[in-house]
Structure 1
Amino acid sequence: MLNSRDIDRLRPDVAANCRAWLELCRAAGLLVLVTGTVRDEEYQQYFFENGTAATPVPSFHGEQAGLAFDFCQNIKGQEYSDSTFFQRAGELGEQVGFEWGGRWKSFPDRPHLQWSDGGKYTSSMIRAGDYPPAMPPYREEDTDMTKEEIQAMIDAAVTAARPPVYTSVENCPAWARETVQKAVDEGVLRGDQGGGLRLTDDNLVNLQMLRNLGLLDGGGA
């Protein structure tokens, strides 16, 4: 199975912008680690079966495409737990020109950035060999904003985009309701004294992964 972390295995234009994004993250004080660049079909199938990929066949991560990469916070024990980190890193990725998976409604993927030419190219197009044009190189000098102004803009966006908290099965996204209801029925989720829930998008994704692994059957905390 192939699951590379090598930025050089990305398409050259994407690799250059990935490195530009890493520099922006470092300038913003974010400790970022690239965890995956290209993968083969066998590894994509593994991700799909454990609930961390939406499809069993790679598209943007494919060996021939090299258009996407995954990342995490480079702090032991806190790699995926800080939603503010992913919000800030995702915003910086969008600034460079990437599409951020944290914006997706049906299958949010916060640790994911890809070059889709502004969403014009879909996974099915990539799998068919229809790839987007070269990604324009990001140059920080293209903006008249100072680093402080850029940071202030990112901070404002983070504040305005605090992750939602779902307090009942009914106000969860449609894709997660059945899983949340099962977790409630099995006693995995018990809510507060009034029966109310407090679930974030990260909680919903984790619950879906547990269900895919068959771990939502019986007792909970």
Structure 2
Amino acid sequence: MRILVNFLKFLLGIIGIGFLFFYVIPYIENEAGPSFLQKEDVPIPDTLHPVVQENKVKLVNRAEEKGIAVVITDGHRSVGEQDTLYEQGRSEDGRIVTYAEGGESYHNYGLAIDFAIETKDGRVVWDMNYDGNDNGQSDWMEVVETAKDLGFTWGGDWENFKDYPHLQMDFGLSIRELQYGKRPDVEDYAK
């Protein structure tokens, strides 16, 4: 009985702390001034961030110098487009290709691109072993290495869901920060 009472006290304490952190403190901060949890009314971008756009072009050009034809298959994606893609493999036919709903993807904020490789015969492939430039290395991984040199992070390095065609520049911002209106400045990140 004593163990049950102590467990209930512990549980009530956790619930109280959660209530305080998520409801009381943000309310007090919002009354007194800005809060890190306060959502700013900032429009979602409708194009790629200029630095991402510039590095996308550099990626394609540097890969071409290595004899690799990179195809950018996706860039900025609207919230509606993201929701449609999210439904694939769920309420729509096809396999699941994303776990991010609208507003939960770096694509929605113009900070991500997806790529594929064009073969010598003109096919677009997502083959990570293809070596079209015949140098003994995977063209895919050569593109990934080049992208990382340009400042992109690769979805293939993610722990949980591997997204091998995905490249992003998050500028140190989380999805939550982006959802709350924080945006990277062009001047702060231009090289």
CA 23–77 in structure 1, closer or farther in 2 if over 3 Å, else same: closer
Aligned 8 A contact 1:90 1:110 in 2: no
Partner of 2:117: 73
Post-superposition Cα deviations, 1:77-115, rounded to whole Å, max 9, x if no partner, equal 551123433322111111001111111111111111111
Larger radius of gyration: 2
| CA deviations over 1:2-24 (Å, ceiling 9, x no partner) | xxxxxx93121221111111111
Q: Does 1:131 align with 2:176?
A: no
Q: Which runs of 5+ in 2 are unaligned?
A: 1-45, 89-95, 130-137
The 1:24/1:130 distance shift into structure 2, 3 A limit, reads same
> CA-to-partner distance for each residue in 1:40-84, whole Å, 9 max, x for gaps?
12221222222111211243111xx21111111123555112343
Indicate the residue corresponding to 1:182 in structure 2: none
Corresponding position of 2:142: 88
The alpha carbon displacement at 1:26 in A equals 0.9
What is the TM-score when the length of structure 1 is the normalising length?
0.52
Alpha-carbon distance in 1 for matches of 2:141, 2:177: 27
Higher relative contact order, structure no. (Cα contacts within 8 Å, ≥ 6 residues apart) = 2
Indicate the RMSD between aligned Cα atoms, in angstroms.
2.0
Verify the 8 A CA contact 1:86 1:110 in the aligned structure 2: no
Output one character per residue of 1:156-215: Cα deviation in whole Å (capped at 9) or x when no partner: xxxxxxxxxxxxxxxxxxxxxxxxxxxxxxxxxxxxxxxxxxxxxxxxxxxxxxxxxxxx
SS of residue paired to 2:125: coil
Residue 97 (structure 1) aligns with: 151
Gaps of 5+ in 1: 1-7, 138-221
Contact persistence 1:100–1:112 (CA under 8 A) = yes
- 1-structure distance, mates of 2:61, 2:124: 21
Q: Report SS of the residue matched to 1:61.
A: helix
* Preserved CA contact (<8 Å) 2:71 2:124: no
Return the alpha-carbon distance in structure 2 between the equivalents of residues 81 and 47 of structure 1.
22
Q: Given the alignment of the two structures, is residue 53 of structure 1 paired with residue 98 of structure 2, yes or no?
A: yes
- The CA deviation string for residues 132-151 of structure 1, in whole angstroms up to 9 with x for no partner, is 343333xxxxxxxxxxxxxx
Give aligned pairs, total.
126
Over 4 Å off, 4+ runs: none
- TM-score under structure 2 normalisation? 0.59
